[in-house]
């Protein structure tokens, strides 16, 4: 799906991804995966490589990073990652301009929703920490830590959106999976290239790819 042109866009609803779209935690995730690799005497990966191989489901990305799950399960390694992430989660910041963009969209009377593969209760904590709760009609995260995708959660959210709000929906994310979710729920999609997957991979989808969150407003006015 392609986003409509600036002149013709009439979005009533925007679904935001969280990690890598609003929250700049890319370097943090690269650092933590390298801690896990080093503990297991596996080669560390560069940030460039991280953004080239990161994917959903996350288990596939772990395999590309070098884990084979012969001696440890994905669940064990995944929990180690999340435990370390939880310790460091407040060291990441929002991308510059995030609060201003969310505020501007709210002033345009466009409904905003959060859809994330992050665990729901921790997601709510972070949204409150960054004082963003006021901007979202609802916050939607998974009920577990293993980030296996969010399509089903997206379908549930879209069902609720269609019950209460007429008009076109735009999903904004930073990964191919965000595009897959948008396609699966009947939403348009744009991606931002400053997140967990590199610009080259995103552009292969032949949909709009923005260089920063600050370019979003131009699509809506």
Q: Are residues 121 and 208 in the same domain?
A: yes
1 within some domain: no
**CA-CA distance, 214 to 97, in Å (whole number)?**
6
Nearest CA-CA partner of 182 in 8, 2, 50: 2
Q: Are residues 108 and 173 in the same domain?
A: yes
**Model pLDDT, residue 148:** 54
Give residue-wise pLDDT tens across range 79-103: 999 999 999 999 999 999 999 999 9
Q: Are residues 192 and 146 in the same domain?
A: yes
CATH number at residue 143: 3.40.50.1000
**Model pLDDT, residue 1:** 42
Q: Are residues 109 and 215 in the same domain?
A: yes
Q: Give the pLDDT band (50/70/90) at residue 6.
A: very low
User: Which of 46, 69, 91 marks a domain boundary?
Assistant: 91
At 121, give phi and psi (nearest 5°).
-65, -40
Q: Are residues 35 and 141 in the same domain?
A: no
Cβ atoms of 123 and 53 closer than 8 Å: no
**Model pLDDT, residue 63:** 96
**Model pLDDT, residue 167:** 78
156 within some domain: yes
Q: Give the pLDDT band (50/70/90) at residue 210.
A: very high
Q: Domain range holding 147?
A: 11-23+95-220
Q: Are residues 84 and 102 in the same domain?
A: no
User: Which of 91, 115, 134 marks a domain boundary?
Assistant: 91
Q: Are residues 64 and 122 in the same domain?
A: no
Q: Give the pLDDT band (50/70/90) at residue 149.
A: low
pLDDT (average), residues 200-205: 97
Q: Are residues 126 and 196 in the same domain?
A: yes
216 within some domain: yes
Give residue-wise pLDDT tens across range 27-61: 999 999 999 999 999 999 999 999 999 998 889 99
Domain count, the chain: 2
Of the two residues 171 and 220, the one the predictor is more confident about is: 171
Give residue-wise pLDDT tens across range 150-170: 888 999 999 999 888 777 999
**CA-CA distance, 98 to 100, in Å (whole number)?**
5
118 within some domain: yes
**CA-CA distance, 55 to 185, in Å (whole number)?**
20
User: Which of 91, 111, 136 marks a domain boundary?
Assistant: 91
Element (H, E) at 88: helix 74-88
Q: Are residues 15 and 38 in the same domain?
A: no
Q: Give the pLDDT band (50/70/90) at residue 8.
A: very low
């Amino acid at each position: 799906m392609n986003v409509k042109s600036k002149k013709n866009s009439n979005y009533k609803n925007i679904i935001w991804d969280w990690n890598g779209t609003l929250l700049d935690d890319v370097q943090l995730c690269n650092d933590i995966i390298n801690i896990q690799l080093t503990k297991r005497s596996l080669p560390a990966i560069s940030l460039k490589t991280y953004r080239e191989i990161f994917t959903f489901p996350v288990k596939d990305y772990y395999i590309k990073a070098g884990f084979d799950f012969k001696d440890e399960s994905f669940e064990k390694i995944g929990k180690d990652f999340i435990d370390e992430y939880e310790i460091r989660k407040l060291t990441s910041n929002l991308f510059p301009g995030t609060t201003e963009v969310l505020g501007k969209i709210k002033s345009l009377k466009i409904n905003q929703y959060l859809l994330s593969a992050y665990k729901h209760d921790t997601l709510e904590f972070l949204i409150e920490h960054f004082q963003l709760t006021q901007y979202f009609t609802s916050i939607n995260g998974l009920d577990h830590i293993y980030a296996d995708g969010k399509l089903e959660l997206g379908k549930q959210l879209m069902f609720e959106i269609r019950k209460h709000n007429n008009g076109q929906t735009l999903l904004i994310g930073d990964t191919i999976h965000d595009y897959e979710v948008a396609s699966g729920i009947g939403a348009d999609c744009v991606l931002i290239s400053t997140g967990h997957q590199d610009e080259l991979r995103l552009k292969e989808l032949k949909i709009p790819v923005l260089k920063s969150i600050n370019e979003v407003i131009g699509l809506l006015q």
